[in-house]
Chains A and B, each alone.
Chain A
Amino acid sequence: MTPARRPRRVVPHFMAAAGLAADHVGVQRTTLVHVAAEVVADGLDPPASHLVNLLERGPLAAYECAAHLHLPYCVVRLLVADLVAAGTLLTRDPPAAEMPRRELLELVLSGLRAL
């Protein structure tokens, strides 16, 4: 971890004014986010259009999107949820990991051993 504690505005003014309002936020840090087919970024607000452009080359985790957009994760999470509600983005949720499946662990192990 790199300490970077400094006070500043967390949410840019233009985003706070836009008032993101997704009903249900199911987005997690490792939720994979990708662009729905036939979406054009035209007419989206700056952070949303940046996000759509970022994802045009393929899916990224919500956490990775936040790093590239230089916005806090809690903000990007809401942005993604809003764009999912609008049909612009699609997501793939991570599996519930409380009791991982043996097949998943085997996939991880065989992948790590093969490197």
Chain B
Amino acid sequence: MGSVPYSGRPGIDDVPVKIVIAGPFGVGKTTMVGALSEIPPLNTEEVLTEAGALVDDLSGVSEKTTTTTAIDFGRLTLPGVVLYLFGAPGQTRYRLLWQDLVRGALGVLVLADTRRIADSYDVMDLVETAGLRYAVAVNDFPDSPDHPGDVLRKVLDLDPATPLVRVDARDPASARGALIALVEHIEEMLP
């Protein structure tokens, strides 16, 4: 608690917009949230209970110890809107938390690592089950194999309309480019 180590707050008239960055452990979610965020990335605790995050009173959680997980998130204020970036864990054991966490999200950026592409299957399952709009960003690591896009599309079973972009999660401009691809896709999908 104590001092807030940054200046700048969104305006009360700014529209809050949630964007989820999802992917398997170690894929670069934390890095990407940090590259995009105007504040040092924060950690908020989520309680994992049988009832997921559907906790509407303290009676269920106040008397017992419970498992928690920390979610990274960041903020990016733009004229008229404030983006909230949530780094969501990509394992299906987090399904209940996921359903609550992604509710109301504009869309999901799925981060994938081509060195272990099978780790992304759980995330794809979560995203598609939730019926969310998404784009896939392949985080370029120095030793990433250079798979052609059509091979990656086939392996991830992507719809032809779903954007597949390369990103350097450490680079703010590159990370913003991936977000732009996602939002452009969401706009194209509007009726």
Contact = CB atoms under 8 A, between A and B. Distances in A.
Nearest to A69: B1
Residue of B58, B105, B176 with most partner-chain A CB within 10 A: B58
Interface of B is mostly: mixed
A29 B10 contact: no
The secondary structure that dominates the A interface is mixed
Interface residues of A, number: 64
A90 to B, nearest CB: 8
Interface in B85-137: 86-89, 101, 103-106
A11 to B, nearest CB: 4
B139 interface: no
Contacts of B4: 54, 57, 68
Nearest to A72: B45
A16 B176 contact: no
A87 interface: no
Interface string A69-104: 111111100100000000000101011110110101
B127 to A, nearest CB: 15
A60 B180 CA distance: 24
A105 B190 CA distance: 10
A78 B47 CA distance: 14
Contacts of A29: 18, 84, 86, 101
Contact of B43 (A6, A67, A95, A102): A67
A111 B11 CA distance: 15
Contacts of A106: 187
A105 B183 contact: yes
Contact of B58 (A7, A15, A34, A96): A15
A71 B81 contact: no
Contact of B81 (A73, A97, A108): A108
5 contacts: A1-B88, A2-B43, A54-B4, A59-B9, A107-B79
